[in-house]
Structure 1
Amino acid sequence: MMMALHLSLPGIRSADPALRQFDVFGPPGLSGKALAEFLANDTPGIRWHAGDTPLSEFPTLPSDGHLLLTPAAVSGPVPATPAPVWLLVEEGPDSGAARPLPRGTHRIGRHECDVTVADPTVSRHHAVPRHECGPAR
């Protein structure tokens, strides 16, 4: 059985795309530390997190599914602006789309919303997430 994990990483430099996505294939049981070390070569000075947990602290990565990583500076002052929250569309007509949600309240749905999606299984006014100074709700 092979591990097939889809990763999404927001850009950290102005020249970066808004979101980089790629797949990790390998034997099951790959540690978060191993992936963190690999990413450190590409993004020096950045510590990647999955939610509130540093990637390097995951004993093993999930063997499949999707993992959104967020960047944090290794040292220095805490930034005044938190890392953005991303809406990732995994299925439907907009599959693969990623949209940043800055601080504030956002209406998500098919019609007359801040973030519009084309999926007919999503209601017209589907969700209202609020991004504050901490985890999104």
Structure 2
Amino acid sequence: MATEMGLAILAGALGLAFSNLDKISKFKGAGFEAEMNMVHTMLENQTEPTLEQKEEAKTKDDLTSEENKILISLQKPGYTWRYANTVAGEANVDKTIIANKLQTLMQRGLAKNGKGSNGEIWSITALGKNVQEQHQLKNA
């Protein structure tokens, strides 16, 4: 009887989570946890920018050389989320200042963070991709 009750609760939790995928950011119940921030970021990274996003990017193209390298690292193919130490190594930015640089990019809407299995993880936003692209075109 306890097993059937547990399965019924789990089935209900799964049903609720998947029926409202577009509305939840985190759901936890009966040993099941769904975090939609990760899925949203993956979709955002694979979507073409809108005209509004492209125009906004043109007004925010004031990247430093280090910030540009960080945004390039955050766009590495095959990865949606990156750890700060990995980004620091790839962007050749000192590990002691990478956290501040990533926080600054996040405050400007160019990056975002989440929670990974080994700590804080970072991803580029659609605006960040567009700003970095504008920066590359301008400095080419």
Q: TM-score range by the shorter chain?
A: under 0.3
Higher strand share: 1
Higher-Rg member (1/2): 2
| TM-score (structure 1 length as normaliser) | 0.25
- Relative contact order higher in (CA < 8 Å, ≥ 6 apart): 2
| TM-score (structure 2 length as normaliser) | 0.25
